[in-house]
Amino acid sequence: MLMKFGVIQFPGSNCDQDCYHAVADVFCQPVRYIWHKDKTLGDVDCVIVPGGFSYGDYLRTGAIARFSPAMKAVAAHAKTGGLVIGICNGFQILCEAHLLPGALIRNRGLKFICDHVYVRVETTDSPFTNACRRGQILRIPIAHGEGSYFAEPNVIEQLKREDRILVRYCDKNGNVTDAANPNGSLENIAGICNEARNVFGLMPHPERASEKLLDSEDGRLIFESILATAAFR
């Protein structure tokens, strides 16, 4: 069963073509771009909010993108149960748009980090991780300057209680340690979902780890989970 994808394009998005390529060429699914000024998404099942530097990261990462017409349509799509995945800058935008709780702040070391990291799948109870094993270790690249996840303690507790932390930074053996935390994220959080579990934000780039040529294929599992969800629906 095919799943229709839409990739949002903001001025300054730079992972939109990577996402498009992964969906179209690796997973052979229908996909189209959605311009930030578009008021409707059209007929899509899953929206990808890609990485990059939307609106030049002015003011705060994701702060301006949140007000674009396309993001209003994304919020409406999410409200009716449609799938939304925000990658890197997309995660920052989803937080700014209040589709996910918390915020992404400057990395604790202040440096922009471009590296392969390990993340541990904390739960398979989501449309984005159901093709993984619980505790599975994925090697996926990150590339960000503002990836340190922050939320108030009561929000962190709620995320834990509701099993909404989908992936955590870990070492190659799956140990969640401070040394394996690249950016200072609370609880080593690399990705979370919303209460309804249909909106997922993560800093690592699964679209850049979906082909042998790109060194790691572990990111495939995220897309395969989404496709498995389509089949189930």
Partner 1 sequence: MKAKIIVMPKKTVLDPQGKTVKNALESMGFHSVKDVRVGKFIEVELTADNKAALKKKIDRACHDLLSNPVIEEYSFEII
Q: Based on the number of CB atoms within 10 Å of its own CB, is 49 exposed (0-12), middle (13-18) or buried (19 or more)?
A: buried
> Which tokens in the block code for residue 166?
């989908």
Q: For partner 1, which residue of 75, 184, 187, 214 counts as binding (CB under 8 A)?
A: 184
Strand 83-87 with 199-202, pairing: parallel
Residue 81 as a binder of partner 1 (CB under 8 A): the answer is no
Binding mask 124-163 for partner 1 (x = CB under 8 A): ------------------------x-xxx-----------
Minimum separation from the CB atom of position 106 to partner 1 (A): 5
User: CA–CA separation, 176 vs 78, rounded Å?
Assistant: 31
Residue 201: alpha-carbon gap to chain centroid: 3
Minimum separation from the CB atom of position 225 to partner 1 (A): 28
User: Quick one: which of 151, 152, 159 has its CA closest to 104?
Assistant: 151
Minimum separation from the CB atom of position 149 to partner 1 (A): 11
CA count, 13 A, side-chain hemisphere, 189: 28
Q: For partner 1, which residue of 96, 122, 207, 218 counts as binding (CB under 8 A)?
A: 96
Site for partner 1 in 102-121 (CB under 8 A): 102-103, 105-110
Residues identified as active-site: 88, 205, 207
User: Which residues in this chain contact partner 1 in the complex, by CB under 8 A?
Assistant: 59-60, 63, 67, 95-96, 101-103, 105-110, 148, 150-152, 184
